[in-house]
């Protein structure tokens, strides 16, 4: 009888543990990754890019003022703590984008704190007080088309106001702004589609009628010519516009 009772208890316990293992862990909190939670799609209201056709080159111009808001949204989502160790911590704030001929620049402010380890007293670690400095930075980006995709390529990084911790501050900024950094990745993923279209589709949608008229062919033929030149699409920022160009002949 006792053996039967122990068997029933063991079986009940096993079933209970099996059921609990199927439940989500209550002590763990799921956080969305920055690659999905902080991305901002460029869906522009009243989007009316301008098309022109000169000397066999189709150009579609998009005012950069339309891109400022979505990129600034990404920058705001990436402000905050950039570095934190027992000896150093750094925060970044007030980031914003500024366009100019040739590309754009991300400007922002930083605050850096550092301390040194003095030793252990009665098992407690002792440090110097935090030393704090602050300054600003700018990160340049060039815009180009790579394999039919519009990308922003990180360029020169300028740090202002730093002293002996210049290298640490520079590394922290580049960790977010550089080619593998979160800011660069999110801007590039966002630029891949503007109002649901990649650069090739933007050229066709906006410029195929203009190319057809200039070449004296049908719009369908112009579309085929543009699509055949996807590897020859270029991009630059000039005159307050993001200019997409392709030679169509």
Supply the pLDDT for residue 179.
83
Supply the pLDDT for residue 1.
44
Q: What is the CATH code of the structural domain delimited by 47-249?
A: 3.15.10
Tell me the backbone φ, ψ of residue 203, rounded to 5 degrees: -65, -40
How far apart CA 35 and CA 2 sit, in angstroms, is 58
Give me the mean pLDDT over the 44-66 stretch: 91
Supply the pLDDT for residue 180.
85
Residue 108 confidence (pLDDT) above 70: yes
Residue 80 is classified by DSSP as E
Query: In the chain, what's the furthest Cα-to-Cα distance?
Result: 99
Supply the pLDDT for residue 20.
33
Sign of CA dihedral 235, 236, 242, 244: negative
**Residues 146-175: pLDDT tens digits?**
888 999 999 999 999 998 899 999 999 999
Residue 238 confidence (pLDDT) above 70: yes
Residue 40 confidence (pLDDT) above 60: no
**Residues 168-204: pLDDT tens digits?**
999 999 999 998 899 999 999 999 999 889 999 999 9
Task: Give alpha helix (H) positions in the chain.
Answer: 2-21, 34-37, 65-77, 166-177, 182-191, 199-215, 219-228
Give me the mean pLDDT over the 89-112 stretch: 97
How far apart CA 115 and CA 130 sit, in angstroms, is 5
Residue 231 is classified by DSSP as G
Supply the pLDDT for residue 121.
87
Give me the mean pLDDT over the 25-44 stretch: 43
Question: Could you give the percent of the chain with pLDDT greater than 90?
Answer: 72
Domain ranges of the chain: 47-249
Supply the pLDDT for residue 41.
56
Tell me the backbone φ, ψ of residue 7, rounded to 5 degrees: -65, -40
> Which residues 6+ apart lie within 8 Å of 176 measured at CB?
78, 82, 92, 182, 183, 184
Residue 38 confidence (pLDDT) above 70: no
Residue 116 confidence (pLDDT) above 80: yes
Question: Could you give the percent of the chain with pLDDT greater than 70?
Answer: 84
């Amino acid at each position: 009888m006792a053996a039967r009772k122990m068997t029933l208890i063991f079986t009940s316990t096993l079933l209970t543990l099996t059921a609990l293992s199927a439940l989500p862990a209550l002590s763990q909190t799921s956080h969305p990754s920055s690659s999905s939670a902080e991305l901002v799609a460029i869906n522009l209201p009243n989007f009316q890019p301008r098309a022109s056709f000169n000397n066999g080159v189709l150009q579609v111009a998009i005012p950069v003022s339309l891109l400022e808001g979505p990129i600034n949204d990404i920058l705001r989502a990436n402000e905050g703590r950039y570095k934190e160790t027992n000896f150093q911590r750094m925060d970044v704030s007030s980031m914003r984008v500024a366009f100019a001929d040739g590309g754009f620049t991300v400007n922002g402010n930083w605050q850096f704190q550092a301390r040194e380890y003095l030793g252990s007293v009665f098992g407690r670690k002792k440090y110097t007080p935090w030393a704090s400095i602050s300054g600003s930075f700018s990160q340049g980006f060039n815009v180009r088309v790579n394999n039919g995709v519009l990308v922003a390529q990180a360029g020169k990084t300028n740090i202002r106001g730093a002293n002996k911790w210049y290298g640490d501050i520079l590394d922290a900024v580049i960790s977010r702004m550089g080619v593998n950094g979160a800011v660069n990745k999110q801007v590039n993923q966002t630029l891949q589609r503007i109002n649901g279209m990649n650069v090739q589709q933007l050229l066709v949608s906006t410029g195929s009628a203009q190319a057809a008229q200039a070449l004296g062919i049908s719009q369908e033929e112009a579309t085929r010519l543009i699509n055949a030149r996807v590897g020859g699409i270029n991009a630059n920022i000039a005159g307050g516009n993001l200019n997409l160009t392709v030679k169509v002949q």
